[in-house]
Copies of this chain bind each other. A is one copy, B any other.
Amino acid sequence: MLETASSLFYRHGVRSVGVDLVVLEAGVAKTSLYRHFRTKDDLIAAFLEREDADFWGGWDRVAARHTDDPMAELEAHLDWIGERVARPNYRGCPQLNVAAEFPQTDHPARKVAAAHKREFRRRLRGIAERLGASRPDELAGQLSLLINGAFVSAQVLGPGEATPLLKATARALIAASKTA
């Protein structure tokens, strides 16, 4: 059920998918949905938590293959992210999409999204430290801007452009982070 809702929410946007469509597509009764999720807002938050877990699952799988080489790890992450962004049905980062759909920062889903982006920057800072950047938090911020930019720029990027652009940019930023 949550999987069906997640797929619908991601493809068509959270606000344009009603609970009636979710229960129809999932083949469950509306009472069942409301037993597991108190409100639709809770369902949206659960959707983002699921996406969050999926994202870090993929991240950790990549990171585990490069425990001793932070540069290789970062490039592997950018490969993976660039490939995902270039997919034909890519519709942007779900966390950013939901944040754009709900301006209220106290919405339960917004809290999930904010935590996700904080964690994202935290992990980038870890890599920046291991890379020996002189100001790791600055490098993490730069990489965070870069990758979030890629998430929202899929439409304007040419096919296959994302990955090389991400990697070239990251290399330039890392080189600069050591000289200063």
Number of chain A residues whose Cβ lies closer than 8 Å to a Cβ of chain B: 46
CB closest chain-B residue, reference A148:
B149
Chain B residues closer than 8 Å to A83, beta-carbon distance: none
The distance in angstroms between the C-alpha atoms of A171 and B152, with both chains bound, is: 23
A24 contacts B by Cβ under 8 Å: no
Do the beta carbons of A155 and B100 come within 8 Å of each other?
no
A69 sits at the interface (CB 8 A) = no
Q: Is the CB of B173 within 8 A of A145?
A: no
Q: A92-B100, A138-B165 are in contact. Are A152 and B152 (CB under 8 A)?
A: yes
Q: A137 CB to closest chain B CB, in angstroms?
A: 10
Fill in one digit per residue for A143-165: 1 if any B CB lies within 8 Å of its CB, else 0. Answer: 01111111111011100010001
Shortest Cβ distance from A121 into B: residue: B156
Once bound together, how far apart are the Cα atoms of A59 and B172, in whole Å?
A: 27
- Are B155 and A169 neighbours in the complex by a CB distance under 8 Å? no
Map CB proximity to B onto A116-137 as digits: 1 under 8 Å, 0 otherwise.
Answer: 0110010000000000000000
The answer on a CB contact under 8 Å between B13 and A103 is: yes
CB pair B153 A165 closer than 8 Å? no
Known: A11-B103, A146-B146. A96 touches B152 (CB 8 A): yes
